[in-house]
Amino acid sequence: MEIWINPACSKCRSAISLLDAEGAEYTVRRYLEDVPSEDEIREVLERLGLEPWDITRTQEAAAKELGLKEWARDDSARDRWIAALAAHPKLIQRPIITADDGSALVARTDDAVQDALSRK
């Protein structure tokens, strides 16, 4: 399992603490330093079953500068959203856990982290 984190994020730190408390084996990816490619974002979106706008932090300054709230949210705009996430990784919702069973989830709650732990 891999977890994409921003160490400054309290929800990320909470998820890591819970994984550690459960003795989980995982790899940490500091996605602001090790920025995911557009293809990696596409893969994670497929595993999440979500669209790029579903995992975008629209309140971030970069989102406002880009005018993301006005962008279309359909297939024609999907690549544009993915390119924005790759160019501005701070826009990616966190933490994201890629589970051992091939799925992924946005683990912003303890229940979501437990869900990831149960996916073997």
* 9 is known as an active-site residue: yes
Residues in contact with 40: Cβ distance below 8 Å, sequence separation at least 6, in sequence order = none
- Please tell me the predicted confidence (pLDDT) of residue 100: 84
Give the confidence band of 119 by pLDDT, cuts at 50, 70, 90.
confident
Q: Phi-psi bin for 95: left (phi > 0), alpha (psi -120 to 50), beta?
A: beta
pTM: 0.93
Which strand (E) or helix (H) includes residue 62? helix 61-66
Residues in contact with 48: Cβ distance below 8 Å, sequence separation at least 6, in sequence order = 54, 55, 96, 103, 104, 105, 106
CA 107 to chain centre: 8
Dump pLDDT digits (tens) for 13-59. 999 999 999 999 999 999 999 999 999 999 999 999 999 999 999 99
* Other residues' Cβ atoms within 10 Å of the Cβ of residue 94: 21
- Mean pLDDT estimate for the chain: 96
Question: Catalytic: which of 9, 24, 28, 62?
Answer: 9
- Please tell me the predicted confidence (pLDDT) of residue 41: 98
